[in-house]
Amino acid sequence: MKGKVVKNQRLNDKYFFLEIKSEEFVTQAHVGQFLMIKPGSQEYTHDPLLRRPLGVADVHDGKFNLVYMVVGKGTKLLSEFHEGGMIEFSAPLGNSFTLLENKRVALVAGGIGIAPVFWLAKTLKNRGCVVDLYYGGRTVDDVVLLEELKENTDHLIVTTDDGSAGIKGFVTLPFKENVETYDMVYACGPKPMLKTVSEICVNAEVPVEVSLDERMACGLGACLGCIIYLREGDEIVQKRCCVEGPVFDGAKIAWDKLS
């Protein structure tokens, strides 16, 4: 697919916000899905080689949004993409979150994990849920779009490791205090955080869905490069993060087997 880059806006030193126009994409996308996006506009250069996976952060008015952090050459190149240009990307890929109605839910996001959570918050709110978002980052630069998030949540609890914004400390602490009040928990962020969130939920017997990140080459189940491991009964089974995921039941993930 192809779409016009409407906005490619720097949020702070690390984060960017990208808005792309594409009816085709928008009509197909589900909350929790991702896409593979070509970081540059040139067909004839092959470095970087592969498209990069990014979570869909919102969908509205025939446009969709991505939020990304510049970490390497692909995201750097993306950050230099000129507004108005046409960008190439895949169809929406992967599975999606289970969407409840009229329930109390907690969303836990760590750093760039906010991307899919943004759209999720908005969607669940529209479905009548009470939505609490626990959003943690290393510093104030790692918690973005706070105004927009406030609008789409009932409670927004921000934490930073260094206290430069919100409460000082890990996001899992305030979340843990309230876990039992929720019907369902959704999380996206670094693996150690997801693991802790899942353990907290399992202990509290609250269902939890997490969105996982793995390096991806194809994004559609062919390369077998993005394996994650689930515990099913006594067995450890392999799943492709890109097709059977990126959203998994946090209670089933074999955390110690992940890379």
Partner 1 sequence: MSDRLKTTFCGIEFKNPVITASGTFGYGLEYAKYIDISKLGGISVKGISLKEVQGNPMPRIMETTSGMLNAIGLQNVGVERFITEKLPELRKHDTKIIVNFWGKTIEEYVEVARILDEADVDMLEMNISCPNIKEGGIAFGTDPKMTHEVTYNVKKVLKNKPLMVKLSPNVTNIKVYAQACEQAGADAISAINTLLGMSVNIHNRKPNIYNITGGLSGPAIKPVAIRMVHETFRTVKIPIMGIGGIIDWKDVVEFGLVGASAVQVGTANFIDPEIPLKIISDLDKYMAENNIGNFSELTGTVNLDR
Ligand X SMILES: Cc1cc2nc3c(=O)[nH]c(=O)nc-3n(C[C@H](O)[C@H](O)[C@H](O)COP(=O)(O)OP(=O)(O)OC[C@H]3O[C@@H](n4cnc5c(N)ncnc54)[C@H](O)[C@@H]3O)c2cc1C
Q: Which of partner 1, ligand FES, a copy of itself, none is residue 257 near (CB under 5 to 8 Å by kind)?
A: partner 1
Any binding-site annotation on 242? yes
Instruction: For residue 100, give the nearest of 69, 130, 140 by alpha carbon.
Output: 130
Q: Which of 4, 30, 41, 104 binds a copy of itself (CB under 8 A)?
A: 41
119 makes contact with ligand X (CB under 6 A): no
Please state, in angstroms and rounded to a whole number, the distance separating the CA atoms of residues 39 and 43.
Answer: 11
Segment (H or E) for 68:
strand 63-69
- By CB under 6 A, the count of residues binding ligand X is 21
Closest CB to partner 1 among residues 89, 97: 89
Question: How does DSSP assign 148-211, residue by residue?
Answer: HHHHT-SEEEEEETTSSSSEES-THHHHHHHGGG-SEEEEES-HHHHHHHHHHHHHHT--EEEE
Residue 240: closest CA among 113, 69, 53, 47: 53
Q: DSSP readout, 117-135?
A: HHHHHHHHHHTT-EEEEEE
> For ligand X, what does the binding mask look like between residues 194 and 213, x meaning CB under 6 A?
-------------------x
Position 177: which residue type? E
Choose among partner 1, ligand X, a copy of itself, none what residue 80 binds, the Cβ cut-off being 5 to 8 Å by kind: a copy of itself
Which residues make Cβ contacts (< 8 Å) with residue 104, sequence separation at least 6?
129, 130, 132, 181, 182, 183
- Residue 43, phi then psi, degrees to nearest 5: -75, -25
Residue 218 in the binding site for partner 1 (CB under 8 A):
yes
34 binds, among ligand X, ligand FES, a copy of itself, none (CB under 5 to 8 A by kind): ligand X
Could you give the string, one character per residue 195-234, with x where binding to ligand FES holds by CB under 6 A and - elsewhere?
---------------------xxxx-xxxxxx--------
Residue 235 interacting with partner 1 (CB under 8 A) = no
Least distance CB 183 / a copy of itself (angstroms): 46
Please give the backbone phi and psi of residue 42, each rounded to the nearest 5 degrees, phi first.
-90, 135
Question: What six digits make up the tokens of 208?
Answer: 């939890």
- The reply on whether position 215 binds partner 1 by CB under 8 A is yes
Which of 47, 101, 205, 234 contacts partner 1 by CB under 8 A?
Answer: 47
Which spans of this chain sit near partner 1 (rule: CB under 8 A)?
Answer: 38, 46-51, 88, 90-91, 214-228, 238, 243, 257-259
List the binding residues. Answer: 74-75, 218, 223, 226, 242
